[in-house]
Amino acid sequence: MLTKRLIACFDIINGMVTKAYKFQNNINVGSAVDIACKVYEDQVDEIIFYDITASAEKRKIDIDTVRNVARHVFVPFTVGGGIKNLDDMYEVLKAGAEKISIDSMAVRNPGIISEGARAFGSQCIVLSMQVKKVERTSKIPSGYEIAIDGARVFTGMDAVEWAKKGEDLGAGEICVNSIDRDGTHSGYDIEITSLISNAVNIPIIASGGAGTPEHVVEIFTKTGASAAIISSMLYSPLMKRNYQVKEIKCKLMEHGIPVRPWIEGYINI
């Protein structure tokens, strides 16, 4: 049986991991490679890297950091930020990443999703979206709007419609990042995660708001999400306490949620 995934997601600035609150006020947490190795040994199921300022600064992604991390972690590794075309994608894959996450660039040029899917397969393309709860209007019937560029620019696009379009264009997964919940540790946005997972037939990653193992249980029992991002819980210094992957998985198993079993003596091969 396919298990639910716990994903550690890092926002990177200059090779360092940072933590933000509602997409702002980033603070430094440590080196990307060190933290990636730590969560890999802690048996997280997957790792995502966002070079968060690459897109806004209109520069290429930090390939050296990607390459360095890929040498040390052997779970799926997704990279996003500043990816504009097939050559950028190829460079990231060649550096050892498994998947490419496209966010603001996909809004500016939706064709990049289909081009990427054609060249490297749908499974390679993660459509990441920044969503914010707004008033329901005829233009935004779901009541969730898409933002880009680190939640700085609002697009007037409906989140559910954008998710469906992303699936049609060939995205293999959708990562739903809640701007309202980002860094708040107050639980995932159940409503939008549920709306989107019901609207598409590709896997959904819930992101933003995880603070306790109960929040992770909630997202998997109340929505069709296939994966959940738990970054803050693992390493954020802004939290009262951090958790180990093992603790979170135990809690999920208590609720009958299928997970990859945590293994004692894992890295002795």
Partner 1 sequence: MIGIIDYRVGNAPSVLNALCSLNIDSCLVSSPGQVEKCTGIILPGVGSAQATMDSLAEIGLIRVLEDKVLNKGLPFLGICIGLQVLFEYSEEGDAKCLGWFPGIVKRFPDQLVRVPQIGWNEARFLDKHPVLADLGKGEFFYFVNSFYVVPEKEDIMLAKTWYGVEFCSMIAYKNIIAAQFHLKKSGARGLKLLKNFAMWAGIKSNGKAGG
Q: Quick one: 62 exposed, middle or buried, by C-beta within 10 A (0-12, 13-18, 19+)?
A: buried
Q: Which of 62, 103, 173, 189 binds partner 1 (CB under 8 A)?
A: 173
| Alpha carbons 110 and 116: distance in angstroms, whole number | 10
- Contacts with partner 1 by CB under 8 A: the residue count is 42
Three-state DSSP at 239 gives coil
> What's the burial of 139, exposed, middle or buried (CB within 10 Å: 0-12/13-18/19+)?
exposed
Is residue 38 at the binding interface for partner 1, with CB under 8 A as the rule?
no
Q: Please identify, among the stretches 11-19, 88-96, 101-109, 206-214, the one whose residues bind partner 1 according to the rule CB under 8 A.
A: 88-96
Binding string, residues 125-144; x marks residues near partner 1 by CB under 8 A = --------------------
Residue 19: closest CA among 62, 61, 50: 50
Shortest gap between Cβ of 257 and partner 1 (angstroms)?
13
Verify binding: residue 18, partner 1, rule CB under 8 A: no
Query: Residue 201: what residue type?
Result: N
Pick the closer one to partner 1 by CB: 23 or 40.
40
Task: Locate 121 and state its tokens.
Answer: 């397969």
The stretch near partner 1 (CB under 8 A) out of 66-74, 101-109, 142-150, 155-163 is 66-74
| Tokens describing residue 116 | 């990427």
Task: Provide, rounded to whole angstroms, the least separation between the CB of residue 227 and partner 1.
Answer: 7
Task: By CB under 8 A, name the one of 14, 24, 59, 71 that touches partner 1.
Answer: 71
CB–CB of 21/237 below 8 Å? Answer: no
**HEC string for 131-184:** EEECCCCCCCCCCEEEEECCCCEEEEEEHHHHHHHHHHHCCCEEEEEECCCCCC
Q: Using CB under 8 A, pick the residue from 8, 48, 54, 70 that binds partner 1.
A: 70
Q: According to the binding rule CB under 8 A, does residue 63 interact with partner 1? A: no
Q: How far apart are CA 90 and CA 96, in angstroms?
A: 10
Stretch that binds partner 1, among 38-46, 55-63, 215-223, 246-254 (CB under 8 A): 38-46
- The answer to whether 122 contacts partner 1 (rule: CB under 8 A) is yes
> Which residue in the set 10, 49, 50, 77 belongs to the binding site for partner 1 (CB under 8 A)?
77
Cβ-based nearer residue to partner 1, 80 or 143: 80
